[in-house]
Amino acid sequence: MISVKNLSKKFGGFTAVDNLSFEVKPGDIVGFLGPNGAGKSTTMKMLTGFLEPSGGEIRIADMAMTDASKKIQRRIGYLPEGAPAYGDMTPIQFLNFIADIRGLKGERKTQRIREVIQLIELQDVLDRPIENLSKGFKRRVGLAQAILHDPEILILDEPTDGLDPNQKHQVRELIQNLSKDKIVIISTHILEEVTAVCNRAMIIAAGKMLFDASPDALQRKSRYYKAVTLHFGQLTDISGLAELKGVADMEVDRDSGRVTLFPEEGVDLLEPVSAYIKDRALQVDTLYSEQGRLDDVFRQMTAEVKG
């Protein structure tokens, strides 16, 4: 259980995090979204006890960060931004070192290290110095280090940055497969990642919380949510579509020729549109209902802050 109240962080005159308050319960997989420099990493650094807040309070598992940072840090697995690791060590040395520091001993230590190596697929690089590994492998070593002691709270700063699509998929699966009573907080620029992995999305810009709800709710904020897009096989008079009941607006993309119909609130357009097409026997080669475009919502929200 993480509870953050009025958290602020100032660097000189610059406010990186501005009066942030939120709570995270076990089972929450939170995605921190925000433009670069929005304060995501700074917030994570404060949650892990690396930076001291300029104001406000962080309580984790009913302990205040200011009183019990070491106790709290035992419960947290953290992948810092850029996945730093000791370059002169090999992954197996590094994991052994982390296991020792995390207090893993004997059979449990060997078993956890073996499990994590399997899970993250580090077998091939175990004996190569970390500084010689590719960016993707470095990131995976960082991930392995974070989950090694099977922490209740996992905080990952851009866990999929620098990974190829297969590896990204793998990491997302890994996060989803963590047991359901853990807290996971990830930060990302990739919007699809939030819908794919998280059950809660927080948008932060200029240090302020702009949105905190489920990824679905985020999609629902999109103008495109439940909009119907279609494309005709031949030149067609489309003026009638805009007159349909429940259509609030119509947009035609000049390049692709796609027509998008925006519904009035609470209206399902798919049915009336397909009925219209059927009635007039129009040739349609594409017809689908949109999920909502996240990047659209994201741009809109974060642009407002910059004003």
Partner 1 sequence: MSNILILFRREFASFFATPVAYVFILIFLMLSGVFSFYVGNLYERGQADLLPFFNFHPWLYLFLVPAMAMRTWSEERKSGTIELLMTLPVTTFEAMMGKFLAAWFVLGLSLLLTFPLWLTVNYLGNPDNGIILAAYIGSWLMAGAFLAVGICMSALSKSQVVAFILAVVVCFLFVLSGSNIVLEAFKGWLPPILLDTLASFSFLTHFEAMAKGVLALDDVGYFLIAIGIWLYGGFLAIEQKKAE
The residues that touch partner 1, with contacts defined as CB under 8 A, are: 45, 48-51, 70-71, 73-74, 76, 78, 80-82, 84-89, 93, 97-98, 100-103, 129, 145
From the CB of 48, what's the least distance to partner 1, in Å? Answer: 4
Toward partner 1, which CB reaches closer, 80 or 207? Answer: 80
From the CB of 188, what's the least distance to partner 1, in Å? Answer: 19
Q: Is 293 helix (H, G, I), strand (E, B) or coil?
A: coil
From the CB of 302, what's the least distance to partner 1, in Å? Answer: 25
Q: Is 170 helix (H, G, I), strand (E, B) or coil?
A: helix
From the CB of 124, what's the least distance to partner 1, in Å? Answer: 20
Toward partner 1, which CB reaches closer, 70 or 180? Answer: 70
Toward partner 1, which CB reaches closer, 30 or 153? Answer: 153
Q: β-pairing, 14-24 with 2-11?
A: antiparallel
Q: Is 189 helix (H, G, I), strand (E, B) or coil?
A: coil
Toward partner 1, which CB reaches closer, 134 or 286? Answer: 134
Nearest to 141 by CA among 104, 189, 93, 177: 93
Q: What is the CB neighbour count within 10 angstroms for residue 30?
A: 23
Burial 95-126 (b: 16+ CB within 10 A, else e): bbebbeebebeeeebeebbeebbeebebeebe
From the CB of 154, what's the least distance to partner 1, in Å? Answer: 12
Toward partner 1, which CB reaches closer, 89 or 238? Answer: 89
